[in-house]
């Protein structure tokens, strides 16, 4: 969390805290999937994230909830307004990743 030491920052600078959280295995994948498909159950989220284990998914959901990016809803889990704002900031990276893939494929 911002203000607390994280990997790469003893001061807990907000950007470093965000990078630390999003850099954890499956954290961005979970947030991305929830933002793309909307509220879903634990089981559906695990299926859509493909190879994530139940333990890893549970841990990431707890961390994303503590950070304010995901919350529990009647149907399972959903991104919060803050989570959707973060997704909006990450979306251009998704677009860039497609451009990057085309670039690499053109080199082959």
Q: What average pLDDT does the chain have?
A: 92
* Residue 3 resides in a domain: no
* Residue 38 resides in a domain: yes
Domain containing residue 46: CATH number:
1.10.10.10
* Residue 92 resides in a domain: yes
Residue 75 is part of which domain span?
14-107
Tokens of 1: 């969390």
* Residue 5 resides in a domain: no
Distance separating alpha carbons of residues 22 and 90, to the nearest angstrom:
11
H-assigned helices in the chain = 14-22, 27-37, 42-48, 54-66, 81-107
Q: So what's the pLDDT on residue 2?
A: 67
Number of structural domains the chain divides into: 1
CB atoms within 10 A of CB 45: 22
Q: So what's the pLDDT on residue 61?
A: 98
pLDDT-derived band at 28, boundaries 50, 70, 90: very high
Distance separating alpha carbons of residues 3 and 33, to the nearest angstrom:
28
* Residue 20 resides in a domain: yes
* Residue 39 resides in a domain: yes
CB 82 within 8 A of CB 90: no
* Residue 66 resides in a domain: yes
């Amino acid at each position: 969390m911002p203000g607390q030491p994280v990997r790469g920052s003893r001061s807990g600078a907000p950007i470093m805290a965000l990078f630390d959280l999003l850099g954890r295995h499956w954290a961005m994948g979970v947030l991305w999937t929830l933002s793309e498909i909307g509220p879903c159950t634990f089981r559906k989220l695990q299926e859509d994230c493909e190879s994530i284990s139940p333990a890893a998914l549970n841990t990431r959901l707890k961390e994303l909830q503590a950070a304010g990016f995901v919350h529990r809803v009647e149907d399972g889990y959903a991104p919060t307004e803050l989570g959707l704002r973060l997704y909006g900031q990450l979306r251009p990276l998704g677009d860039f990743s497609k451009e990057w893939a085309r670039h690499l494929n053109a080199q082959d």
